Chains A and B, each alone.
Chain A
Amino acid sequence: MNRRLELLAAVATIGLLWAGSAGAAPLKTEVKKTPLRRGEAVKPLPRDKASRSHAPFESGQCGVCHRNNDAANPGPIRQATVNEQCFECHDDVRDIMARRYKHVPANEACTDCHNPHNASQPALLYRETVELCTSCHAGIRNQLAKGKTQHGAITKDKKCANCHNPHASNVERLLIALPFDLCVNCHSKDGMVADDGKTMTNFKKWLDENKVWHDPVRAKDCSACHRTHAGDNFRLLVAEFPSAFYAPYERKNYALCYGCHNERVVSEPETTTLTGFRDGSKNLHYVHVNRERGRTCRACHEVHASKQDHHIREGVPYGPKGWILKVGYTKLPNGGSCAKTCHETRSYNNKTLTSAVPAKK
């Protein structure tokens, strides 16, 4: 019992810590552990309310799990713990529970989520999947209730179980596989349309055609940038990111990129260390971005994958009709150059303190 109290205390503490930091860290959400389900909570539903039945219960063989094979007086379960009782038949789940990351309730008692007799839900869950999961995962419930956009993955098919294994997994957050391997299950077809009516990228195709991958993509870590349940930002991004070509520079608008990238790459007018996009010590990121009509990251960079180094894109949709403006970047031994499109052709030199641009007389 003491161990159980310790466990509950630990879970509650994690919940509080997560709640305290919600918002800044995308995957940390409040967890409120509900009390262990026992006794009345796991008794059989009336037959007319149950659409699924556990085979031993359905066949009236109470003695498979209980000490007495007598429906009128089944007595306690035969094994010392609920899970040991279940594993007598479900020993494949015992193997599953040997995986690296374990769901606390599954490790504790199968009956936290399943009714061992009968139920109205698949897999003898005692509630509908999302309701069940969010009865503890209050932070996710909150996101789903308040987020402007809900991820389709959580409302379709197996819902939470599309991406998570509710028992145990080899991947953190009980993911069935690394995020990209899950996301690409859906995001690898043409013609998917987002809530805003825009066509979504076929990522398999895009990544096949563009071999310079953004590091989180290479690490299959989509959730580094995207919320996976619900959110308020464009494309379920974990933080703000300007969606247009031009935007006045404000640090908070670039919170997504600054989740990893150093904001000083845009805030420092002069540098020889923070970026290679500099002419001498003149920081060209600062020049382009840090202004009232600043060019946003997307003006020059592809966020997932590109054909060129530094994730420089070949062209960018521009204007109300999305006409493609060529970026015209060329990598040079001492830096690079941009051909005439946004401005006259210009080169930069990042190997010395001397500008590639001749000083004005």
Chain B
Amino acid sequence: MRAPTPLAAAATLALAGGLLAIATPSRAAPEVSDRIDRRVQVGDRVEDAELRTLDGGRDRFLAKGAKANVFVFFRLQQERSLDTMKDLARCEKEFAGKPVRFVGVVSDAWPADEVRAFVREAGVAMPVLVDEGDALYGKLGIRLHPVIGIVDAKGKLVAFEPFRQINYCDRVKVRIRLVLGEATEADVARVDEPERTVTHSEAGVARRHLNFARQLLRIRQHEKALDEVKKSLAFAPSADAYALQGEVLVALRRCPDALRAFDAALKLDPANAAARDGKRSCAP
């Protein structure tokens, strides 16, 4: 890698005024600061730029006609960049045929041959732009690698996602889908704040006892089935539990008790079919 020459540095500064038009976001400042250094902020407008491509041509940073321009700044000799590019290779396939354009951006400080090998290993099909003198990197204030940004059809930055160890791909994909109109803000919120996952719940235990009772009834272990229903009802009273209690009591030829159980079920759920059928089976 080499240091920028004074000329390159001056040229980079000369680009400062023109490359990006950054508007002050109108939203109220949140309690926790979400402005990080001087990078372009979500909600800002990002102007397009033309850069050299890895294969010697030239291409735009933002493609016209794309509903979502997804850019990734990456670097070599960094596993997180490689992992992210591999994830994006899968993303490219997932969004194939949709108006989504992926583009990679890499510093010109890295030898082109090494970048090509890296891109090959990652398996991405996206064009890779060479950021001469890190001009674009500097203007956007990227600072980190890898970083994925999403720009909508109006040129507004709608997502800026530095590397995440957990749920990175999901975070990016749901934001692309949001731009495409395939996801809602609620979907984004569900990915960003996923529901805590529990295995054990009282409702679950109640269902287990009830299901067990049903199996015991099937093999005609009526008294044991009745015990399991009682355990289920102790955790969570339900129409299904009372209805099953009634069925077991019918099997035990205890119709008066069964009728009380069916009535309790119908009180909780007047449409409970098992309770209705059960009542008929106890009819004189």
Chain A interface residues toward B at CB < 8 A = 21, 24-27, 55-56, 59, 61, 63-64, 69, 88-93, 96, 99-100, 165-173, 175-179, 181, 211-213, 215-216, 218-219, 221, 223-224, 258-262, 264-265, 267-276, 281, 309-310, 352-353
- Contact pick for B203, options A92, A171, A215, CB 8 Å: A92
B212 at the interface (CB under 8 A from A): yes
Q: Are B215 and A89 in contact (CB under 8 A)?
A: yes
Known: A177-B196, A261-B143. 16 other contacts (CB 8 A): A21-B79, A25-B79, A25-B83, A56-B215, A59-B221, A92-B208, A96-B197, A100-B170, A171-B166, A176-B197, A219-B164, A221-B164, A258-B78, A261-B144, A268-B3, A276-B37
B135 at the interface (CB under 8 A from A): yes
Say how far B159's CB is from chain A's closest CB, in angstroms.
Answer: 12
Q: Are A176 and B1 in contact (CB under 8 A)?
A: no
Say how far A102's CB is from chain B's closest CB, in angstroms.
Answer: 11
B163 at the interface (CB under 8 A from A): yes
Chain B residues near A59 (CB, 8 Å)? 221, 224
Question: Could you write out 5 A-B pairs with CB less than 8 Å apart?
Answer: A166-B199, A172-B166, A271-B9, A272-B10, A352-B13
Q: Are B144 and A268 in contact (CB under 8 A)?
A: no
Chain A residues near B167 (CB, 8 Å)? 171-172, 178
Chain B residues near A64 (CB, 8 Å)? 212, 215-216, 219
- Known contacts A61-B219, A221-B166, A353-B9, A215 near B36 by CB under 8 Å: yes
Tell me, in angstroms, the Cα distance from A171 to B9 when the chains sit together: 44
With CB as the reference atom, state the residue of chain A lying closest to B201.
A92
Q: Are A169 and B197 in contact (CB under 8 A)?
A: yes
Q: Are A272 and B4 in contact (CB under 8 A)?
A: yes
- Contact pick for B221, options A21, A61, A169, A211, CB 8 Å: A61
Tell me, in angstroms, the Cα distance from A165 to B167 when the chains sit together: 16
Say how far A294's CB is from chain B's closest CB, in angstroms.
Answer: 18
Q: Are B165 and A27 in contact (CB under 8 A)?
A: yes
Q: Are B32 and A353 in contact (CB under 8 A)?
A: no
Interface size class of B (residues with CB under 8 A): 35 or more
Tell me, in angstroms, the Cα distance from A59 to B212 when the chains sit together: 12
The 9 residue pairs across chains A and B that have the minimum distance between CB atoms: A273-B138, A92-B204, A170-B194, A89-B211, A273-B134, A63-B219, A272-B9, A169-B197, A64-B215
Chain B interface residues toward A at CB < 8 A = 1, 3-4, 6, 9-10, 12-13, 31-38, 75, 78-80, 83, 109, 133-135, 137-139, 141, 143-145, 162-167, 170, 190, 193-199, 201, 203-204, 207-208, 211-212, 215-216, 219, 221, 224
Say how far A255's CB is from chain B's closest CB, in angstroms.
Answer: 10
Q: Are B196 and A181 in contact (CB under 8 A)?
A: yes
Q: Are A211 and B224 in contact (CB under 8 A)?
A: no
- Known contacts A93-B199, A219-B164, A223-B165, A273 near B219 by CB under 8 Å: no
- Contact pick for B163, options A260, A262, A310, A352, CB 8 Å: A260
With CB as the reference atom, state the residue of chain A lying closest to B13.
A272
Say how far A329's CB is from chain B's closest CB, in angstroms.
Answer: 14
- Known contacts A218-B32, A272-B12, A273-B4, A91 near B166 by CB under 8 Å: no
Q: Are B37 and A213 in contact (CB under 8 A)?
A: no
Q: Are A213 and B33 in contact (CB under 8 A)?
A: yes
Say how far B139's CB is from chain A's closest CB, in angstroms.
Answer: 8
- Contact pick for A218, options B34, B37, B139, CB 8 Å: B34
Tell me, in angstroms, the Cα distance from A211 to B283 when the chains sit together: 70
Q: Are B166 and A175 in contact (CB under 8 A)?
A: yes
Say how far B200's CB is from chain A's closest CB, in angstroms.
Answer: 9
Q: Are A177 and B32 in contact (CB under 8 A)?
A: no
Tell me, in angstroms, the Cα distance from A260 to B34 when the chains sit together: 18
Say how far A360's CB is from chain B's closest CB, in angstroms.
Answer: 19
- Contact pick for B212, options A55, A173, A271, CB 8 Å: A55
- Known contacts A169-B197, A261-B144, A273-B4, A215 near B162 by CB under 8 Å: yes
Chain B residues near A26 (CB, 8 Å)? 165
Tell me, in angstroms, the Cα distance from A353 to B221 when the chains sit together: 88
- Known contacts A25-B80, A171-B166, A218-B32, A273 near B133 by CB under 8 Å: yes
Among A264, A269, A309, chain B packs the most CB atoms within 10 A around the CB of A264
Q: Are A273 and B198 in contact (CB under 8 A)?
A: no
Tell me, in angstroms, the Cα distance from A89 to B197 when the chains sit together: 20
Q: Are A310 and B133 in contact (CB under 8 A)?
A: no
With CB as the reference atom, state the residue of chain A lying closest to B146.
A260
Q: Are A211 and B9 in contact (CB under 8 A)?
A: no
Chain B residues near A259 (CB, 8 Å)? 78, 80, 163
- Contact pick for B3, options A221, A269, A352, CB 8 Å: A269
Q: Are B197 and A168 in contact (CB under 8 A)?
A: yes
Q: Are B224 and A170 in contact (CB under 8 A)?
A: no
Say how far A160's CB is from chain B's closest CB, in angstroms.
Answer: 13
Tell me, in angstroms, the Cα distance from A346 to B212 when the chains sit together: 76
Q: Are A170 and B145 in contact (CB under 8 A)?
A: no
Tell me, in angstroms, the Cα distance from A264 to B38 when the chains sit together: 18
Tell me, in angstroms, the Cα distance from A179 to B165 when the chains sit together: 10
Q: Are B33 and A310 in contact (CB under 8 A)?
A: no
Say how far A117's CB is from chain B's closest CB, in angstroms.
Answer: 15
Say how far A23's CB is from chain B's closest CB, in angstroms.
Answer: 10
Tell me, in angstroms, the Cα distance from A261 to B199 when the chains sit together: 38
Tell me, in angstroms, the Cα distance from A216 to B167 when the chains sit together: 12
Chain B residues near A224 (CB, 8 Å)? 163-165
